[in-house]
Structure 1
Amino acid sequence: MVALPTRNIENLTLTLQKRINTKLSDLCNNTVRVLKSDGSKDFEIKTIGQAFDVVFIGNNSIAVTSCDSNQINIIDLKRHKLKKSIKVDSDNYGVVYKDGHLIYCAGEKGLQMISLKDETITNVSNTKLPSFAYITIFGDKLFYTNFYDDSVTCCDYHGNILWTFYDKSVLVSPFGISVDNDCNVFVVGYSTNNVVVISPDGQRYRQLLSRENGLIGPKALHYDTSTNELLVANESDEAFLYDVK
């Protein structure tokens, strides 16, 4: 018997916890700025080139993708410095961490996976992805956005597409994507200035946040499954932290 989600998209409620001034102004910025939990600056690094997406990989470290510079940078959060740069054979945009590996959007080469242990690269999906695609995972499923055709796609680790969400009446120019503990899929719409949640089967949706909540060109978001908090960041200057119930 398949367990039903404990929370469905119709019952989700968001409560604003704090507004954060990120003082960042664009995508692929040449600065990585780390903020403390209260929103104040911890440290920043300006010497690693472009930065697109970031993911925590354990051991007080984060991995930072770099758009089209063919490298992924590992930053030590404790020592506040670059630990190493990993060369890859493609562009690298959205990234997620799983079991010692990074799975990242590699543009023309689709979805790639690299081992952080020996840096070997394997192909997950040959489906060409656009620039600025973001990715997230849940169990044996991958979810990624397509900024250019306004879609969200769910596939398995063999690249087989399970469903695609497309509805320009509610979601245009999707960027950041994340999932909660029930596989509800949260996506930001850059051009629609909103956050939309999609049901695990891709059949239903609900708008959770809009321009009225301060979203102006939102590009990134992250759902913390340990605290049930949702962080949403505008392209410029401001981010919002919500409690989700």
Structure 2
Amino acid sequence: MATNEIALFCDVCQTRDLNKSAEGYCHQCEEALCRECRDHHKISKLLKSHQTISIEKYRKLPSFIKEIKHNCEEHDCFLEFYCKSHDSLCCKLCLISGHKKCNDTIFIDNYLTPSSGHSSAALDNIERVLKDLESNICSAIKDRNRNLTELREQKPVIAEQIKEKREEINTLLDHLEGELLEKASAMETEYCRKIEVVIEKLEDEKKKVDEIQKDIESVKMSASNLQIFIGTKAFEKNISTNEINVQMLYNNGSFNNLVMECTLNDNLGGLIREIKTFGDMKVDNREKHVSFSWKSDKSAQIFKPMSRTKSIGNLCVRLVRKIDIGQNCFSGCAMSEDGNMFFLPLYQNKLLRYDPNGEFRSESSISSLKSSIGYDLAVVDSKTVAVSSGGNFPQEICLIDMDSAETHKEFEIDDWCHGLSYHNGSFIFCTYDNGIKMIDRSHGNLTNVRNLSNAPKMVDGTYVTSNENGIFHSNWHDDSVVCYDFHGQVQWKFYNSLVRKPYGITLDSYSNIYVAGSESNNIVVISPDGKQPKELIGASDGLLDPRAIYFDKTKNLLLVANYSGGAFLFDVYNI
């Protein structure tokens, strides 16, 4: 196949030691052709059905499209079929030799050229998805710019409000006024920057969408059916990544409407001598003003990303790597955005960090106090992981920087803290004999703590996870998995001999629940309604008393650690 983009010569002539500039290209033959060879190509009885394109159009095709081979490497025959069972292209000899029993094979031309004769039908739905994605991104950018303007307009209003109140009292409040204005400016800068970061991410996704659209237009005009077929898979993978990135911004609260408010001190009217502050500043994280709309038919895609409507029966895993850890008694694990893996040995006051390739990087202490602490890990944000102390003193939750591995904050919680989850600004944790508790991180220590009603009292050593749909508790005491709403009402209970002594629990982006069965030596996935279980990974995959488990929702990766040592990283996908 000719690939020289600067000076493309006729491949046929070069076999005769002649260098003639190519004017056309044949996808089926995978050859560049000069004018004379192109004319012969058109009238040849065997080749006249081949479709050639100009060199200019060939150059505009995406590089990965041009690299697609049309002939079977084993039989040197034209690749005309696709086997869904084996996810592979086949020639007619492949069908005879290796796919006799496969019932799910398709003829590529029939798939790509329906009765309407539209050769680029496979790309039409991708373009509709891209159009939806572009529309949603534009709406989100418009909304973020609106909120940005709104925030900036609110600051002078607040400043005037402060000034009017300030004129009613004496000059002793000058310093307090300045402090409050400085706080307003700092908050404006901080939250405006957060919105700008979201806008930058959205604009980056829009650029990716624009690039894909250009590539699709080129493919529609100039690619072969096979190239369109294979290219469709690549386009859908890229679009799925774009879509997940934008949807995750939507789900993680990046589009929540931020409103600055100033609360003035009620004592300003007369009790000047008792006033210690001029007021306070806060940002009200309100509901989104923007919503997403998807008009395209994603079910029409031949290759699909993980879908909410897909049965867990279609979930599969493949081993990415095994991580050899020279220690044991692991009770917690987590992953950072850049792929670093963290493992927590039970009650050993240390946190182990491994790089994305599974190589050991560092070991750090959780607390400066030489106590036997450390039970579970919960990711707080892109830079922070939280550690629960377990059943030993001090009774606290530690926040650790994932880059430096240093503990930068400790929450005293006045209770034992075992299984730990973090969602929407709140810690949710299992205690020794006080049930499941929730604490709002923004309110500081020991304030706004409440118990989850209807949860059992004795939940020592158990695990919990959460998302916007509810709280999920795995209880090894009675082999149960229970889903609660945030008011403590039981939504469903799961008991099944498939999972025995459930410990670690985690969720994917579609509310599927993954549970580590320590006694059954497996990982079982449960449908969001608690009705459908499936063993995803078992003892034959190397699991032996698995306890710690973590799902990376951005990459669809599942991290599992055996209690006795050894960890595994799996890629989770739909078939």
**Following superposition of structure 1 onto structure 2, how do residues 63-142 of structure 1 map, counting pairs within 5 Å?**
63-68=386-391, 69=393, 70-119=395-444, 120-126=447-453, 127=455, 128-142=457-471
Greater mean alpha carbon deviation, residues 192-201 or residues 92-101: 92-101
Structure 2 equivalent of residue 5 of structure 1: 308
Indicate if the aligned counterparts of 2:383 and 2:402 stay in contact, CA closer than 8 A.
yes
Q: Distance in 1 between matches of 2:427 and 2:515?
A: 21
Q: Distance in 1 between matches of 2:562 and 2:512?
A: 21
**Which amino acid in the other structure matches residue 105 of structure 1?**
C
Indicate if the aligned counterparts of 2:351 and 2:366 stay in contact, CA closer than 8 A.
no
**Which amino acid in the other structure matches residue 125 of structure 1?**
L
Indicate if the aligned counterparts of 2:377 and 2:388 stay in contact, CA closer than 8 A.
yes
Q: Distance in 2 between matches of 1:47 and 1:111?
A: 23
Does residue 541 of structure 2 align to residue 218 of structure 1?
A: no
SS in 2 for 1:182: coil
**Which residue of 355, 374, 379 corresponds with 1:51?**
374
Q: Distance in 1 between matches of 2:382 and 2:532?
A: 38
Structure 2 equivalent of residue 32 of structure 1: 351
How many Å apart are 1:79 and its aligned residue? 2.7
Q: Distance in 2 between matches of 1:35 and 1:51?
A: 18
Structure 2 equivalent of residue 23 of structure 1: 326
Query: C-alpha deviations, 1:49-78, integer Å up to 9, x for none?
Result: 411111121262211001123111111223
Q: Which has the higher strand share?
A: 1
Q: Distance in 2 between matches of 1:235 and 1:136?
A: 19
Alignment length, in residue pairs?
241
Indicate if the aligned counterparts of 1:63 and 1:73 stay in contact, CA closer than 8 A.
yes
Indicate if the aligned counterparts of 2:420 and 2:464 stay in contact, CA closer than 8 A.
yes
Q: Which has the higher helix share?
A: 2
How many Å apart are 1:47 and its aligned residue? 5.4
**Which amino acid in the other structure matches residue 364 of structure 2?**
I
After TM superposition, the score normalised by the length of structure 1 is: 0.92
**Which amino acid in the other structure matches residue 232 of structure 1?**
V
Structure 2 equivalent of residue 14 of structure 1: 317
Q: Distance in 2 between matches of 1:175 and 1:93?
A: 11
**Which amino acid in the other structure matches residue 520 of structure 2?**
T
Q: Distance in 2 between matches of 1:129 and 1:158?
A: 19
Does residue 474 of structure 2 align to residue 145 of structure 1?
A: yes
Greater mean alpha carbon deviation, residues 8-17 or residues 88-97: 88-97
Q: Distance in 2 between matches of 1:226 and 1:152?
A: 25
SS in 2 for 1:93: coil
Q: Distance in 2 between matches of 1:124 and 1:12?
A: 35
Greater mean alpha carbon deviation, residues 224-233 or residues 82-91: 82-91
After TM superposition, the score normalised by the length of structure 2 is: 0.40
How many Å apart are 1:124 and its aligned residue? 4.2
Structure 2 equivalent of residue 42 of structure 1: 361
Q: Quick one: higher RCO (CA 8 Å, sep 6+), 1 or 2?
A: 1
How many Å apart are 1:32 and its aligned residue? 1.1
SS in 1 for 2:540: helix
**Which amino acid in the other structure matches residue 14 of structure 1?**
V
Structure 1 equivalent of residue 519 of structure 2: 191
Seq. identity, %: 32
How many Å apart are 1:107 and its aligned residue? 3.2
Structure 1 unaligned spans of 5+: none
**Which amino acid in the other structure matches residue 319 of structure 2?**
L
How many Å apart are 1:42 and its aligned residue? 2.5
Structure 1 equivalent of residue 498 of structure 2: 170
Structure 2 equivalent of residue 60 of structure 1: 383
Q: Distance in 1 between matches of 2:459 and 2:506?
A: 18
Q: Distance in 1 between matches of 2:467 and 2:406?
A: 31
Structure 2 unaligned spans of 5+: 1-306, 332-345
Q: Distance in 2 between matches of 1:5 and 1:59?
A: 25
Does residue 480 of structure 2 align to residue 155 of structure 1?
A: no
How many Å apart are 1:129 and its aligned residue? 4.0
